[in-house]
Amino acid sequence: MKRTYVVTGAGSGIGKKTAELLKEQGHEVIGVDIKNSDIIADLSTPEGRNALPDLVAEKSGGSIDALIACAGVSAPAPITMAVNFFGTVATLEKLQPLLAKGTDPRVAVISSVASTFPYDGDLVELALSGDETATLKFAGAEEKAQLLYSSSKAALSRWIRRNSIKEEWAGSGILMNMIGPGLVETPMTKALIEDEEQMKGLKQMMPTPQGRFAQPEDVANLLIFLASPENSHMVGQMMYIDGGGEATVRGDTIW
């Protein structure tokens, strides 16, 4: 059955591939991004976030069936908290009323296997308190730079665990889950993959037993399943899609 999907980050990489595959499957897709998209909105700003519900409602006719949140950045700067955590949370909260009117509504969010890497616990707590100004100021300290990406994804993952089970989400029939990709070959990771030194360190932190990195399509197919009616009973879960990296590194430690 034809469904209406909102895909953020649809201008590049995983979001772009997800939007393409959904369209090929005959669905209506409303892309959101700062570039190359149906709706141009900067999710790091209150203006971009606040404009979103009306712009989406106008294009969708007042309801949507699924939201796939891919927009993100990996800069060692506070913008990473602004987009990955606050921008994603604002997107989820502001589009919840449109999802509540949809059919078999689903939300699939891209977190990252990096959410299992070392992160700044104080920064995560501050982000979860909802104080964006204080969070971005705290995130601006030089020594935090290398922990910002993992912290943004750890905070986002915790927010999803906490909120997916609430009345507005699971209680309203909106099933929300997330995925944790390892390294995916996209414009975001091009420079990293070309940097031999950095890759050596990364491979130690995150081995890939499957023997290859993910392509955007690998990840898009999982997002599409999570956002489909066939995903009918999963709530608040993280699915790692990393060629075996998380299972290797964390092994028996979580059970």
CB of 167 to ligand NAD, least distance (A): 27
Q: Which is nearer to ligand NAD, 3 or 16 (CB)?
A: 16
Angle between the 46-60 and 88-100 helix axes, to the nearest 10 degrees? 30
CB of 43 to ligand NAD, least distance (A): 4
The torsion of the CA quartet 108, 111, 113, 118, rounded to 10 degrees, works out to -150
The torsion of the CA quartet 21, 91, 231, 237, rounded to 10 degrees, works out to 120
Could you count the other beta carbons within 10 Å of the beta carbon of residue 162?
11
Active site residue 240: no
Q: Which is nearer to ligand NAD, 184 or 227 (CB)?
A: 184
CB of 138 to ligand NAD, least distance (A): 20
Q: Which residues bind ligand NAD (CB under 6 A)?
A: 9, 11-15, 33-35, 42-44, 70-74, 83, 87, 110, 112, 181, 183-184, 186-189
Q: Which is nearer to ligand NAD, 103 or 248 (CB)?
A: 248
b/e code 8-30 from CB counts within 10 Å (16+ = b): bbbbbbbbbbbbbbbeeeebbbb
Active site residues: 149
